[in-house]
Structure 1
Amino acid sequence: MIEISVALIAVAFAVLVIFLIKTLRAATQSLDKTTQTLQEVQKTIDELSYEVKQTIRHANDITVDVQAKMKQIDPVMDSVQNIGEVLSEVTLAAKQVSTTLIDKMKSNKRHVSAPQPSHESAASSAEQRTVQSYATVNNSTGATKPAPSWVKYVDVAAEVWKKFRH
């Protein structure tokens, strides 16, 4: 019986060794394939890293170029801003001068002409008021105003401009 037991143990050990050998060979093949795959991945990563570095260098060059061009455009943008400010000042000055001139004309008109009766107490629209004032000015004597009155208006405008600037 011991001989049979030893024989059975020997057969069982041989079967176990055979299965272990097959398993180890399969594991070896899997590891070889994994190693090969990792080598291919490493090669691909190396190629991609070179391309990524080239792309980053190119992007840096573009950034430097854009920054240089922006620095060149800065004086132009400053000039545009200055022009806008000047135009704003001129517009404001023109409004002030025109308001002063209109007020001056109205005060001169009140002193020169006598009040005329009006058929309507107030004009219903801005267009009607403009037409009425135009008609009033043109229906006077038809003669042009003397030059000295225009000189006064220019003087008033110059004074307003001086006050605005200082």
Structure 2
Amino acid sequence: MIWQISVALIAVAFVVLVIFLIRTLQSAQRSLNQTTETLQEIKQTVNELSTEVKGVVRQANDLTGDLQHKMDQLDPVLESVKNVGEVLTEVTLATKQVSTALFDRMKRAPRVAKRSKQAREVAPAPAAAPAAEAAPALPAGSADKPPGWVKWIDVAASVWQKYRS
């Protein structure tokens, strides 16, 4: 009889074990089914996104090409602006040099005039001259020559022309 009870207990335990294994396997199967469904949804979403990403990349490539073309068209304009800036810098420098030279020349001119006036006062007065010679004496050729500062401007202009050509 012990044998029979033991076999019956073993059979009941085996049935209980099988029942728990069946429930565990069913739960695992449901989890795998849900995982499969989720993976299919992800795959579909990735496919949709990949087509959209491809479109965005194509648009970005087109935009980049367009921008490159426009930048190539702007290069000559920017080069011209650069050249104009360099020319203006040169003109400004030349003008500054000419104005400095003129300013220095004008500063020296009163000193030279003062010295020549002092030299005339120191020199003995010539003997009485006829009425025609009594007029104030002008430097020789002063009616024909322009003032000194005009000469400096002409020199500066000719130097500039030679420099530019």
Query: Could you tell me how far 1:164 is from its partner in structure 2?
Result: 6.2
Note if contact 2:102-2:152 (Cα within 8 Å) is conserved in structure 1. yes
- After TM superposition, the score normalised by the length of structure 1 is 0.73
Secondary structure of 2:17's aligned partner = helix
Identity of matched residues, %: 60
Moved beyond 4 Å, runs of 4+:
162-166
The one of 146, 154, 157 equivalent to 1:148 is: 146
Higher Rg of the two aligned structures: 2
Q: Deviations over 1:63-102 (max 9, x none)?
A: 1111111111111111111011000000000000111111
Match of 1:26 in 2: 27
TM-score (norm: length of structure 2): 0.74
Equivalent residue number for residue 92 of structure 1: 93
Indicate yes or no: 2:43 matched with 1:45: no
Q: For residues 164 and 110 of structure 1, do their structure 2 counterparts lie closer, same or farther at Cα, with a shift above 3 Å needed?
A: farther
Matches within 5 A, 1:64-79: 64-79=65-80
Shift of 1:153: 2.7
| 18-27 vs 85-94, greater mean Cα deviation | 18-27
* Deviations, residues 31-89 of structure 1 (Å, cap 9, x unaligned): 11110111001101110111111111111111111111111111111111101100000
**RMSD (Å) for aligned C-alpha atoms:** 2.4
Query: Is the 1:97–1:157 contact (alpha carbons within 8 Å) kept by the matching residues of 2?
Result: yes
Report the CA distance shift for 1:103/1:161 in structure 2 as closer, same or farther (over 3 A). Answer: farther
8 Å CA contact 1:101, 1:153 repeated in 2: yes
Contact 1:97/1:160, CA 8 A, preserved across alignment: no
1:13 alignment partner in structure 2: 14
Q: Tell me how many residue pairs correspond in the alignment.
A: 137
Which is worse superposed, 15-24 or 156-165? 156-165
AA partner of residue 67 (structure 1): Q
Q: In structure 1, what is the Cα distance between the partners aligned to 2:36 and 2:61?
A: 37
Alpha-carbon shift at residue 109 of structure 1 (Å): 2.4
Q: Which amino acid counterpart does residue 54 of structure 2 have in structure 1?
A: K
Corresponding residue for residue 55 of structure 1? 56
Equivalent in the alignment of 2:132? none
